[in-house]
Amino acid sequence: MNIYTKTGDKGQTGLIGGRTDKDNPRVEAYGTIDEVNSFIGKAMTELDREVFTDLVEDLQTIQNELFDCGGDLADVRNTPQYKTNEESVEQLERRIDVLMDEPPLLERFILPGGTPAAATLHIARTITRRAERQTVSLAKAGEEFPAVVQRYLNRLSDYLFAAARVANSRMNVADNEYVRSAKVFKDGGRSKKREE
């Protein structure tokens, strides 16, 4: 099997059920999800699997779910067969609740950084936010795709924030607080996330 097909040489790519320009907003959205997936893979290589068994298992599941999200965005058939489901969103919420109870309480905003894994998870988080914004634009343009994909991305960014904090705390590395931040977390950051 050749990895090159030459079918995209004129600036178009295949969707599930059609073709479109490579700069189509739909392609931008699922391409951004692919970026997230790549950085999650990088983070997994930076986590000690004995210390972070739970995070590695989470991230392996998330990588597959992101493929589902990308596939759902690429499916333009008249009768699409979507894969992303609410259970995936609910599982992220359960894991967020567990992880947010582990690190020290937050009072101020934190800056990305700390351990290599935490820094990479923060990169994945910010790219996830971009992917979410792109799905918002798709929805505004009247493009058809399952709304659960947007919810999944919203929840995933919160999960990655929590996971990044755990990646620091288990290695006894303090989060880097934003020095000019007011005290913005009323409950130590247990329920308040960086963005809604």
Encode pLDDT of 86-142 as tens digits: 999 999 999 999 999 999 988 889 999 999 999 999 999 999 999 999 999 999 999
Residue 179 lies in a domain: yes
Residue 104 lies in a domain: yes
Residue 1 lies in a domain: no
Q: In which residue are the tokens 């934003």 written?
A: 178
Residue 43 lies in a domain: yes
> What pLDDT sits at residue 3?
75
> What pLDDT sits at residue 193?
47
Interatomic CA distance for residues 162 and 52, integer angstroms? 13
- Pick out the chain residues at pLDDT < 50: 192-196
- Domain count within the chain: 1
Which of 111, 118, 124, 116 lies closest to 169, judged by CA? 118
Residue 181 lies in a domain: yes
Domain range holding 102? 20-189
Residue 15 lies in a domain: no
User: pTM for the full model?
Assistant: 0.90
Residue 13 lies in a domain: no
CATH of the domain at 178: 1.20.1200.10
> What pLDDT sits at residue 15?
79
Direct distance between the N- and C-terminal alpha carbons of the chain, in angstroms, rounded to an integer: 45
> What pLDDT sits at residue 181?
85
